[in-house]
Amino acid sequence: MKILKAILAFAFGPFLAWINAIQQPFQNAGLSHPHWAGDADSLAIGLSAIFTLVLVAVMSAISSRYALYVVIASGIITVVALAGVFWLGDKTDAAVGQLEIDYWKEMWRRGYVAWLVVVVLTAVAALHFLIRDDD
């Protein structure tokens, strides 16, 4: 935990690079639309950094038992969110009319950003749980 705290305190740039490295394999995996993929990835990196700070603070304050619950819940949310991204992509493909296509494309973008944020939070929660030095 002390290592993670030191990284967050003194090297936030490398921490953002680590978040980007987690998300990098998904950027060209067909989960995003080419027109908004770059913007969505940038937004997800920023939101991930903010929510990671909150998550680390919360997980530092709870017991190992509850931290395990957080890891399990975030893993489940990650899988459900991934299924949602695929579903929204399919809805966009099946949409008829430009208004409907634009609506589902925007929902897909939001779902993709949310999923990328949850992927990072799941990785951070699991890492935090593994390096806990309390009970």
Half-sphere exposure of 46 (CA within 13 A, CB side): 6
Cα 28 from Cα 115, distance rounded (Å): 15
Rounded to whole angstroms, what are the CA distances from 129 to 33, 36, 65, 88? 34, 34, 10, 32
pLDDT value at residue 15: 62
The answer to whether the beta carbons of residues 104 and 95 sit under 8 Å apart is yes
pLDDT value at residue 18: 66
pLDDT in tens, 2-15: 655 555 555 556 66
129 vs 110, which has greater pLDDT? 110
Q: Where does the pLDDT of residue 39 fall: very low under 50, low under 70, confident under 90, or very high at 90 and above?
A: confident
pLDDT in tens, 53-110: 888 888 888 888 898 999 999 999 999 998 988 888 888 888 888 898 889 888 988 9
pLDDT value at residue 32: 66
Mean pLDDT of 107-122: 89
Mean pLDDT of 110-122: 89
pLDDT value at residue 93: 80
77 vs 127, which has greater pLDDT? 77
Read off the pTM: 0.77
